[in-house]
Amino acid sequence: GGEVVASSRSEPRSFNRLVAGDQTSDTVSMLTQGPLVRINRSTFELEPWLAERWESSADGLTHTLHLRQGLTWSDGTPLTSADVLFSLRAVYDPTVKSILASNLTVGGQPIAATTQDDSTVVLTYAAPSGPGLRLLDMLPILPRHKLEGALSSGTLGQAWGTATNPGDIVGTGPFLLREYQPGQRMVFDRNPRYWRKAP
């Protein structure tokens, strides 16, 4: 219920994690976006996040992930498996030039994704992968309803730059970017629709 103030030594290069890997951009992404699964930085265990559970095939090539029920974006739009497919499609689209694309390939191939319904995603790897689902920790799930037009027009790589109105950036993370003043500050508000609740 209080306020936290922290300093950063650099400006974010973008609010679009697909194209910016600097520490400040990454921090903003972790505060405002969410992955399907995440690696706990204290225990290094893989934890459910937007996906509440999953099953993996015996050969480790197919992973079926089940999204939590009732997930919404910070603007109230429901999050569905279509957003997951969109996020993967965006990563691999050559017009985006995503810095994450090479790290999200297995056996030299992109991860193939299909949906069974609005809350189920099936990921297929081209070859066995040591990290397995841990690869997904780096992939923020992005809002299809906000960014599909930019992907279709070939401009997603420039979307959500630092000149973007913070109100246009939606996510599933614990915070919303309310204000950005270059060289001075970023101000975040609590995301009232964040899926994690206090015990």
pLDDT digits (tens, 9 = 90+) for 118-164: 999 999 999 999 999 999 999 999 999 999 999 999 999 999 999 99
Distance of CA 115 to the CA centre of its chain: 18
Ramachandran category for residue 130: left, alpha or beta (phi over 0 → left; psi -120 to 50 → alpha): alpha
Alpha-carbon span 59 to 11, nearest angstrom: 43
Q: Which residues contact 12 (CB under 8 A, 6 or more apart)?
A: 20, 22, 24, 25, 28, 162, 180, 186
Q: Specify the pLDDT at position 106.
A: 96
Sign of CA dihedral 158, 159, 160, 166: positive
Token pair belonging to 164: 């973007």
Q: Specify the pLDDT at position 134.
A: 96
DSSP 14: -
Determine the average pLDDT of the residues in 25-35: 96
Determine the average pLDDT of the residues in 41-64: 96
Determine the average pLDDT of the residues in 105-111: 96
Alpha-carbon span 70 to 99, nearest angstrom: 31
Q: Specify the pLDDT at position 198.
A: 74
Asked if residues 36 and 53 have their Cβ atoms less than 8 Å apart, the reply is: no
Q: Specify the pLDDT at position 69.
A: 96
Q: Specify the pLDDT at position 99.
A: 97
Residue 1 has pLDDT above 80, yes or no: no
What are the distances in angstroms from CA 56 to CA 103, 134, 195? 20, 13, 25
Q: Specify the pLDDT at position 199.
A: 66
Alpha-carbon span 19 to 82, nearest angstrom: 21
